[in-house]
């Protein structure tokens, strides 16, 4: 088809073949849209579960909730699944739904521009393609954040980010250092402490740890799941309800008694688990539980109290060839240094260059920080939609459920074009301004605004995550308010 020419069947480009990209492809086909291509920069699908393979990696959302609603999995090994199982699950779902042929691997989209009423993309390989709609499923925790530490390049051992784990580096009997105390670091410490000669955890900020058990499903339970899918549905519904009422909805109400109960449970976990009073106080945060993303672990406190483990709270001054020197002058000699330092969470679709109507650059629109109407759309970028974009409920629920609702919402917008009501649909500037103003006001009463530094905050210290109840998000996703959109 020549550039700018339309057919009765709109064409879609999906960017990214992680959880959300796989979902988009499946749902497009279910809706009768067969003309789409998924562009994936890597050589296989899976997104964050492809890239994060560090020891101990697991999901902190229960397995039967962190699954597509239409593809229950009776074979999960545990209540909280390890990363390799989740990766295998996504590969299996993609295979069973036959979307592999629609994915172009090794094709990183570098430019996406709205020209002559259609979207034209270019890839690093030089591929050019055109479509009526773009769905950006590029992920949130995607671009590793590498800390600026003097001498990092001079380290004589192996050094790598947790999301770029080097499995060729021997760990058994090694002296391992871990920088950071987020979820990845906590899982790594628990997984490695009994394998290594010494484990040194360089704590930047103390974290509240919510105690969770992670029981294995018995063979009998898995057979019952396979025989009776309704049993999995019951678990999914119960866990979903518990998450919504007991966690997601209370994060946006700093006066909630349930929020206080979460805090109390974390305090009890710390005080009941750590016997050394000095270590206990080093591990005690100075902010309320859930102000930062709540870390779930059944055994971190036990791991950090092993004889070969050390918690270092002194600031890292520099890295030297033989190890890490801290502000107190001490040198911790290491063989391996792991940077569990998180991600650049303001990237979203970037570094891809996105150009909207009349040459508007997304980088310029997001100069003050990324934002999107309902975490989906940005003014002046018609027929361009994001899954799990800025301002969504990233911190308090299963992102699979979020993405499923967003795909359903987007398909209702697409239906306006298929029905002939317009050829371009995009959120209005007025709706975006109202959403941002309402969001900023609501964010002030969330737990994330109670005095900690976290990746939920923008440069001005304002929480960027969805600041209302999850029930409200579900309600918003039911049906688009077409008055908030420009239809051309």
Confidence category of residue 4, pLDDT binned at 50, 70, 90: very low
Q: Which fold has domain 12-143+344-487?
A: FAD/NAD(P)-binding domain (3.50.50)
Q: Is the pLDDT of residue 329 over 90?
A: yes
* DSSP assignment of 317-380: EEEETTEEEETTS-EEE-SEEEE---B-TT-TTTTSEEE-GGG-BHHHHTTT----BTTTB-TT
* Euclidean distance between CA atoms 243 and 246, whole angstroms: 5
Closest to 254 measured CA to CA, from 52, 463, 77: 463
* Euclidean distance between CA atoms 178 and 313, whole angstroms: 12
Rounded to two decimals, what is the model's pTM?
0.95
412, 479 in Cβ contact below 8 A? yes
Q: Is the pLDDT of residue 26 over 80?
A: yes
The 10s digit of each residue's pLDDT in 86-140 is 999 999 999 999 999 999 999 999 999 999 999 999 999 999 999 999 999 998 8
Q: How much is the CA Rg of the chain, to the nearest whole Å?
A: 23
What per-residue confidence (pLDDT) applies to 9?
Answer: 86
* Euclidean distance between CA atoms 309 and 206, whole angstroms: 16
CA distances, 57 to each of 188, 250, 297, 361 (Å) = 7, 27, 11, 37
CA distances, 80 to each of 86, 263, 323, 393 (Å) = 10, 22, 35, 20
Q: What is the dihedral of CA 285, 288, 290, 292, to 10 degrees?
A: -50
What per-residue confidence (pLDDT) applies to 396?
Answer: 60
What per-residue confidence (pLDDT) applies to 76?
Answer: 97
Average pLDDT, the chain: 94
What per-residue confidence (pLDDT) applies to 6?
Answer: 45
H/E element, 122: strand 118-123
Peptide linkage before 312 cis (omega within 30 of 0) = no
Whether 12-143+344-487 shares its CATH topology with 152-213+241-339 is answered yes
| Phi and psi at residue 309, to the nearest 5° | -105, 145
30, 411 in Cβ contact below 8 A? no
Mean pLDDT confidence for 344-366: 92
Please, what is the Cα angle at 211 between 208 and 216, to 5 degrees?
145
Query: What residue segments make up the domains of the chain, in order of their start?
Result: 12-143+344-487, 152-213+241-339
- Which of 188-192, 260-264, 342-346 is least confident? 342-346
Confidence category of residue 1, pLDDT binned at 50, 70, 90: very low
What per-residue confidence (pLDDT) applies to 404?
Answer: 98
Instruction: Look up the CATH number of domain 152-213+241-339.
Output: 3.50.50.60
* Euclidean distance between CA atoms 384 and 369, whole angstroms: 19
Mean pLDDT confidence for 423-428: 98
Q: Is the pLDDT of residue 3 over 50?
A: no
What per-residue confidence (pLDDT) applies to 454?
Answer: 86
- Which of 71-75, 394-398, 458-462 is least confident? 394-398
Q: Is the pLDDT of residue 171 over 70?
A: yes
Mean pLDDT confidence for 247-267: 93
């Amino acid at each position: 088809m020549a550039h700018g020419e339309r057919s009765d069947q709109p064409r879609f480009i999906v960017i990214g073949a992680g959880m959300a990209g796989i979902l988009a492809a499946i749902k497009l086909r279910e809706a009768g849209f067969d003309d789409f291509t998924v562009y994936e920069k890597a050589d296989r699908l899976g997104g964050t579960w492809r890239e994060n393979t560090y020891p101990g990696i697991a999901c902190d959302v229960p397995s039967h909730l962190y699954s597509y609603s239409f593809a229950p999995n009776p074979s999960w090994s545990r209540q909280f699944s390890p990363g390799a199982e989740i990766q295998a699950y996504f590969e299996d779902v993609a295979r069973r739904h036959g979307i592999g042929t629609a994915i172009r691997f090794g094709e990183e989209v570098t430019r996406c521009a709205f020209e002559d009423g259609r979207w034209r993309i270019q890839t690093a390989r030089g591929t050019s393609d055109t479509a009526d709609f773009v769905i950006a499923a590029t992920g949130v925790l995607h671009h590793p954040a590498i800390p600026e530490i003097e001498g990092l390049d001079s380290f004589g051992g192996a050094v790598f980010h947790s999301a770029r784990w080097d499995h060729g580096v021997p760990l058994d009997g090694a002296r391992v250092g871990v920088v950071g105390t987020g979820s990845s670091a906590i899982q790594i410490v628990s997984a490695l402490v009994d394998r290594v000669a010494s484990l040194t955890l360089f704590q930047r900020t103390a974290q509240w740890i919510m105690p969770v058990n992670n029981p294995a499903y018995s063979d009998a339970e898995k057979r019952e799941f396979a025989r009776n899918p309704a049993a999995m549905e019951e678990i999914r519904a119960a866990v979903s309800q518990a998450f919504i009422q007991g966690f997601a909805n209370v994060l946006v109400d700093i006066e909630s008694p349930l929020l206080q109960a979460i805090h109390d449970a974390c305090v009890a976990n710390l005080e009941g688990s750590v016997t050394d009073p000095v270590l206990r106080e080093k591990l005690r945060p100075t902010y309320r539980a859930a102000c930062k993303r709540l870390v779930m672990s059944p055994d971190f406190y036990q791991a950090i109290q092993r004889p070969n483990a050390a918690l270092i709270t002194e600031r890292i001054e520099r890295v030297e060839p033989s190890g890490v020197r801290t502000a107190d002058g001490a040198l911790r000699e290491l063989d391996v240094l792991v940077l569990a330092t998180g991600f650049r969470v303001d990237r979203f679709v970037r570094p891809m260059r996105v150009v909207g109507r009349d040459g508007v650059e997304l980088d310029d629109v997001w100069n003050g920080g990324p934002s999107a109407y309902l975490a989906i759309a940005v003014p002046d970028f018609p027929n361009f939609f994001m899954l799990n974009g800025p301002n969504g409920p990233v911190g308090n629920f299963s992102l699979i459920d979020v993405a499923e609702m967003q795909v359903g919402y987007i398909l209702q917008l697409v239906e306006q074009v298929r029905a002939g009501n317009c050829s371009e649909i995009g959120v209005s500037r007025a709706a975006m301004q109202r959403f941002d103003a309402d969001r900023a006001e609501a964010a002030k009463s969330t737990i994330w605004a109670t005095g900690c530094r976290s990746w939920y905050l923008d440069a001005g210290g304002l929480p960027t995550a969805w600041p209302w109840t999850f029930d409200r998000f579900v309600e918003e996703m039911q049906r688009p308010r077409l008055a908030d959109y420009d239809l051309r």
